[in-house]
Amino acid sequence: MHNDTGDAITGENAAWKFSGDVPKKFEEHVNKSVPNYSQGHDLILKVSDFFMSENSVCYDLGCSTGILSAQLAKRSEKKETSIIGVDVEIDMIKFAQERDNNPKNLQFIQGNLTEFEFKKADLIVAYYTIQFVKPNVRQLVINKIYESLHWGGAFILFEKVRGADARFQDISTSLYNDYKLDQGYSADNIISKSRSLKGVLEPFSTKGNLDLLARAGFIDVMTIMKYVCFEGFLAIK
């Protein structure tokens, strides 16, 4: 049985997927579901200026419909950069490839991050992506990202984060539910989405993410955006 999770997107219990018809409604849905979603894109574009130089390679991991990838490519096109959007879902990749006015320095590749072979890069972006990587291989993926960066290159990581303890988690959950209600989602929508994401979306705490980065080798890390249980990190190799 499918349950409506809002914006004409459906999901079964513990079986959320980004394939099928999801790409068509994805941007509308995610902009309502994730606070400051488009502002996060804008911030990433501005941060990219510090790391993208002539002939730089940039990866957008979990690129979904390709909007951020295209924006990164257009912003750095005159530098003859190479922007590569990667997503595990072939339906997302096809949707991204068919977008109008994709810059020439942009390509999209279907691939699983646990198996993907990276070129050396100056910038790697994971915008609400790593939270969907299984916890038992998450460290391996972050290690690969670190190894793939040139010295001085950057990893921009945006994640939903869990509270540091039960009280903070309860507060975060309540505030986020209020946010979604304010966006027009019904209580049934919110519960259905939560049920569909069980075992699929597995956020770590802020410390858990910082520990992942540190174990991979990142020393210089700062938070560049934060809204309750949504956080963006900039890690420089």
| Domain spans of the chain, in order of start | 38-162+204-236
| Res 189: pLDDT | 83
Q: For 80-128, how does the pLDDT look when each residue is reduced to its tens digit (9 = 90+)?
A: 999 999 999 999 999 999 988 999 999 999 999 999 999 999 999 999 9
pLDDT given at position 16: 44
Protein fold of 38-162+204-236: Rossmann fold (3.40.50)
**Structure tokens, 157:** 């990581």
What pLDDT score does 200 carry? Answer: 78
Instruction: Choose among 121, 74, 68, 116: nearest CA to 92.
Output: 68
184 burial type by CB count under 10 A (0-12 exposed, 13-18 middle, 19+ buried): exposed
**What's the average model confidence in pLDDT over 145-170?**
97
Structure tokens at 28: 């509308």
Look at residue 22 and tell me whether its pLDDT is greater than 90: no
Task: List residues bridging with 43 in a β-sheet.
Answer: none
- The pLDDT value recorded for residue 74 is 97
Average pLDDT of the segment spanning 130-147: 97
Q: Which residues pair with 83 in a beta bridge?
A: 58, 106
pLDDT tens-digit map of 204-224: 999 999 999 999 999 999 999
Residue 14: pLDDT band by 50, 70, 90 thresholds? Answer: very low
pLDDT digits 0-9 by tens, 62-74: 999 999 999 999 9
pLDDT band at 10 (very low <50, low <70, confident <90, very high): very low
Token readout for 147 is 């190894």
Question: What value does the mean pLDDT of the chain take?
Answer: 90
Joined together, the tokens standing for residue 37 give 């979603």
pTM for the structure as a whole: 0.89
pLDDT at position 148 is 98
Residue 228 CA to residue 159 CA, distance in Å, equals 11
Beta carbons of 184 and 32 less than 8 angstroms apart:
yes
Report pLDDT for 185. 85
Structure tokens at 192: 């259905």
